[in-house]
Structure 1
Amino acid sequence: MTAAGRAGGPSSTQAPNRVERTPSSVVSSDAVVSVNAAVLLAAESRVREATDETEVVHLIANETRKLLTARQVFVFRTASSNDIRVVGISSLAEVERGSACIRWIEAVARQLLAAHSSDASLPLDLADYAQFDGVASAEYPFAHAIWQPMRLTSGALFGAVLVTREMNWSMQDGNVLAREARAFSETWRALLAEKHLQPRHRIERRQRVIMATFAILALLFPVPMSVLAPVEIVASQPQRVNAPLDGVIASVLVEPNQPVKEGQAILVFEQTTLSNKLQLAERDVLVARARLDRVNQAAFQDDKARHEIALALAEYELKQGERDYASDLLERAQIVAERSGLLVYADKDRLLGQPVKTGERLMQIIDPNRVEARVELAIADAIVIEKEVNARLFLDAKPLSSLLGRVVSEGFMAEPNATQQLVYPLRIALEPTDDRPRIGSRGIAQLNGRRVPLFYYLLRRPIAAARQHLGL
């Protein structure tokens, strides 16, 4: 059954009675509608009470049908600047978009949309539009119609109403339809907001081809292969202060982050054990010297004593070596600065009384004016590691400025960082600047490698992930 048949008209299988057509604008029907103000206001009130677009469209179609004693009302909404579609039909809950009648009505609406730009009601005879679909137009029983556009406040068309019946329409019918269309369109606009009703402009085939060409060219445009990695400002070529012996730290003579001069004592180890060892070693030397002297005197008269001279001399030299070693350890129990600079370590209390092993790092002496950057580059981003790679640093302490530098060394073996993530350590030499960064500052470093196509820059990680998971 067609949309017209369900609306209460003659069956689509029956031929409608032919009525001799005359121009609609000059013929007055015997069934001219006489509508009072109370009926109009009641219809407008019911439409204003609608809560969504579907209810608004349904009320517009059915209230208009009652006001004008029409047989069928079609409500349209623009799909683009040159396209319009049926969104509601009187007495029907939904639109069967695939039916021949709907396709024909939408074709009629598109021609009216292109040919008429006026806001006034337009009476017309649907039989004049049979060329769009001869079968559908021949079966449609309501030959006379009124076309009424609906516009936004900007003047753009967003919808329309097509009212049909068997008889001609009068001028009063057109005036009533025009008034109600204005009232109904205001409610429709207020409910959905005008920006949702603006017609969408359809992109022509030529424009789509041009846009696709530009997109392909843009994806082939070469861009620097850049990655981001965490960075920290560190001292350049610091003097590391390591434990010279196994022992316990007795005192730290300089507070953290204080300047020191070359030769200045900075740390002392516990010396009691070392002093005792030195005293014992000195006594052993005296004993060995006395024995050597006694053997030398006895050698003049005793052949056996002459053979013991070499043994006594070796024992004496051994004890001398042990004494010198104990003396050296005692001297090393006090660490002095090998150069002037800033003494940097974490906390004095953490060092006092702490047993340490030989070679364990305790502190370092740095030059505050000589700094560099240390970058921890993730393994997945190692593609940018090359000689003389440019870098741009964005420190957290100075978000509005950046520092320039270049990579001067990189690690060939990944090592775990503080979060146990494998990274490649990189050293970056900073370009001279008046605004010297503070040692310990952290931020993000942007490393720029060789140039690659834009599509490779954007899809490198997804491609790598796909190959790992899919085995491609």
Structure 2
Amino acid sequence: MAEPVKLRSVAPPEARRSRPSVLETLIRLEGEAIAATDALSLQHQAVNKPRDILDCGHIFWVSRKGSAVKILAVTGQEQMERHTPFGQWLKSDLKTRIQKGELNTASQWQFKSGKSGDVITYPFIHAFFAPFSPNPKSGGLLFAFAAPPPESHVPIMARLGEIYGLVHAARRGAKRARMAPRKRNLFLGTVGALALIGLIPIPMTTLAPAEVVADSPFILSAEFDGVIKDILVAPNAQVKAGDALVQLDDVTLRNELILAEKELQLSEVRRKMAGLRAFVDAEAKRELAVANAEADLAKARRDYAQERLDKTILRAPRDGLALFSDVSELTGQPVSNGEAILRIAEPTRVLLRLHAPLAHGEALREGARVRMFLDTDPVTPLEAELVRASYRAVTLPEGGMAFDAHAMLTDGDVPRIGARGVAKIYGEKAPLGYFLIRRPLTLFRQMTGL
């Protein structure tokens, strides 16, 4: 069918000379595209400015990456709503044509709906695709017309695709351009300096809660089953050898001593009477031997009762501090034979007890340097040396597990027993770079198993 003839008004020669030609308009559009400040401005120019020379309905900026396709801009809108039914339908149509290879070159088609024979209601059903240069598979401009576009529009649309494609590719290439020599040298110098710094050997350190404890204290324990009647000293009091410290309940033992003494008195009387009868009766001599044995047995029982009664008072075996928490917690408590009641420690002989985290057990080597910062005096650290550490983790009273370690002071004043703080343990030396990535590397391997 012949294309209908459109009647146009004839303008005066002056007006015809002032109206720009298609070539001039293309040159202007190319200049504006080159001057675009960013990719978004370039996209909006590409979908709106060409309408100055093309009588089209919509222009779409189509971006491709393999078989994936995106509509980044459309005529007359700030942004393309990709999740609308029209946007989803257009993407589906373009994906189908990509699979057929129709978008690798300039192509023209008429939109159809998904149902065969059912023409879509979208008014601009005639489409022309102008691929970008220099890579046609990176996308292009999609022009939509209400009627088939004239043949004179085809080279213009193809040229527009080339212009905006080249500008877009140039902008992306400019972002990836190589750095200037001065910046490159500065960058390489910084990387080299960081690499050298990462090779500096530093000791592997870890922080651990610490407490000052007594070194080899004497444990005062009960020598028989009983009940604590009274504590005769104050907590952490200075005591001397022989001082009474603990009084056990002695009611039963005192009664046993009284009965043993009565039995001893009775056996002594029997022995005297047997001795008197032995002078006149030969058979009484045999009773005298039995009476002597019973008297000796009664005396042994009396001595044993006296010894147990004496042991109800526990005395300090040496000078030192009586270490226990509270008098009220011990008074009235039952104790078994050998059960510890309190400790006697020398205040000048102390150790640092550390609870090292499980993740940093490599720092617990004998002779490792330890610095403890007391809570009461965080400014002046205590210098110590690790003397021993447990090979297996122990359960802490407050929960969790840790390695139990002890360190001996090597310098500084002796702190008070019971003082707490934080200790820093210095392990073997390793590069600084490994020290910085140790924790992330450990977490990565624990999560991935690599």
Normalised TM-score (structure 1) = 0.53
**1:324 is aligned to 2:303:** yes
Distance 2:402 2:222 in 1: 28
| Corresponding residue SS for 1:372 | strand
Structure 1, residues 23-81: CA drift from partner, whole Å, max 9, x if none? xxxxxx9579xxxxxxxxxxxxxxxxxxxxxxxxxxxxxxxxxxxx9646335448xxx
**1:385 is aligned to 2:364:** yes
Q: Unaligned stretches of 5+ in structure 1?
A: 1-28, 33-68, 79-83, 104-134, 144-158, 160-198
Shift of 1:320: 2.7
Partner of 1:270: 249
Shift of 1:387: 2.0
Distance 1:444 1:416 in 2: 19
Distance 2:429 2:273 in 1: 85
Partner of 1:90: 45
Partner of 1:280: 259
**1:440 is aligned to 2:395:** no
* Equivalent residue runs for 1:173-192 within 5 Å: none
In structure 2, the CA distance between the partners of 1:288 and 1:461, relative to structure 1 (3 Å rule), is farther
Q: AA paired with 1:266?
A: L
| Corresponding residue SS for 2:253 | helix
Shift of 1:343: 3.4
| Corresponding residue SS for 1:447 | strand
Partner of 2:234: 255
In structure 2, the CA distance between the partners of 1:207 and 1:341, relative to structure 1 (3 Å rule), is same
| Corresponding residue SS for 2:233 | coil
Structure 1, residues 404-461: CA drift from partner, whole Å, max 9, x if none? 2111233345432213544332221223325x54433323221112223445545556
Alignment partner of 1:449 out of 402, 427, 435: 427
Partner of 1:430: 409
Q: Unaligned stretches of 5+ in structure 2?
A: 1-16, 21-26, 48-59, 66-130, 136-154, 164-170, 172-176
Partner of 2:331: 352
* Equivalent residue runs for 1:145-156 within 5 Å: none
Q: AA paired with 2:351?
A: E
Shift of 1:391: 0.6
Q: AA paired with 1:383?
A: E
| Corresponding residue SS for 2:337 | coil
Partner of 2:224: 245
Shift of 1:276: 0.6
Partner of 2:126: none
In structure 2, the CA distance between the partners of 1:268 and 1:70, relative to structure 1 (3 Å rule), is same
Distance 1:275 1:316 in 2: 20
Partner of 2:112: none
In structure 2, the CA distance between the partners of 1:94 and 1:433, relative to structure 1 (3 Å rule), is farther
Partner of 2:396: 417
In structure 2, the CA distance between the partners of 1:413 and 1:139, relative to structure 1 (3 Å rule), is closer
Distance 1:239 1:380 in 2: 34
Shift of 1:375: 0.6
Q: Percent identity?
A: 32
Distance 1:227 1:349 in 2: 39
Partner of 2:355: 376
Distance 2:249 2:399 in 1: 36
Partner of 2:77: none
Partner of 2:385: 406
Shift of 1:317: 3.6
Structure 1, residues 198-218: CA drift from partner, whole Å, max 9, x if none? x99789766666655555554
Structure 1, residues 326-378: CA drift from partner, whole Å, max 9, x if none? 21222222233344444342222222222222333333344445443111224
| Corresponding residue SS for 1:408 | strand
* Equivalent residue runs for 1:82-121 within 5 Å: 88-90=43-45, 92=47, 100=132
Distance 1:378 1:352 in 2: 37
Q: AA paired with 2:315?
A: V
Q: Greater CA deviation, 282-291 or 294-303?
A: 294-303
Q: Would you say the 8 A contact 1:377–1:425 is kept in 2?
A: yes
Partner of 1:333: 312
Distance 1:415 1:279 in 2: 50
Q: AA paired with 2:327?
A: K
* Equivalent residue runs for 1:194-233 within 5 Å: 216-233=195-212
Q: Would you say the 8 A contact 1:296–1:309 is kept in 2?
A: yes
Partner of 2:120: none
Distance 2:429 2:447 in 1: 27
Q: AA paired with 2:363?
A: V
Q: Would you say the 8 A contact 2:225–2:336 is kept in 1?
A: yes
Distance 1:305 1:272 in 2: 40
| Corresponding residue SS for 1:387 | coil
In structure 2, the CA distance between the partners of 1:201 and 1:209, relative to structure 1 (3 Å rule), is closer
Q: CA RMSD in A?
A: 4.8
Partner of 1:235: 214
Shift of 1:389: 1.0
Distance 2:230 2:419 in 1: 30
Distance 2:385 2:160 in 1: 80
Q: AA paired with 1:90?
A: Q
**1:395 is aligned to 2:374:** yes
Distance 2:374 2:178 in 1: 45
Q: AA paired with 2:330?
A: L
